Amino acid sequence: MGPEILALFIPIVALLIPIFAIYFHYKEELERRKERMLAIEKGVELPPEPVPQPPTPLDYLRKGLIFLAIGLALTIGGWTSAGKMGGPFTSYFKIGGLILTFIGTALVIFYKIQDKSKK
């Protein structure tokens, strides 16, 4: 597998992963609703739907640190392998890594601002 094929393969996989995640989440939700409808038809008393909790500041910090770690790993990997692989393959790693790093930084900054405003 040459670098050109990998450079094409990675964006395709990156697009398919969220599509599959959304599809399986939809199928799971559909199955859950179908079970609830059958229970209602049988006259079973159902508990109320759980109310989704808003994200806490620690959720933003956790997501930010994960994005930072992945982004830095991709960026550093792109820079260290630039001479070995060459081509657009390493550029994708660098650009993708920088985007994830900036998203992670923004989430950590948001956590810090939100944490200071609550004190």
Q: Other C-beta atoms within 10 Å of 113: how many? A: 12
Q: Other C-beta atoms within 10 Å of 97: how many? A: 20
54 or 13, greater pLDDT: 54
What's the chain's average pLDDT? 84
The DSSP string of 45-93 is: PPPPPPPPPPPPHHHHHHHHHHHHHHHHHHHHHHHHTHHHH-HHHHHHH
Distance CA 106, CA 64 (A): 7
Distance CA 3, CA 85 (A): 7
- Residue 54 backbone class (left: φ over 0; alpha: ψ -120 to 50; beta: rest): beta
Q: What is the pLDDT of residue 45?
A: 87
Q: What is the pLDDT of residue 17?
A: 86
Confidence of residue 22 (pLDDT cuts 50, 70, 90): very high
50-104 per-position pLDDT tens digit: 888 998 889 999 999 999 998 888 888 777 776 666 666 677 778 888 998 999 9
Q: What is the pLDDT of residue 73?
A: 86
Domain ranges of the chain: 1-51, 53-119
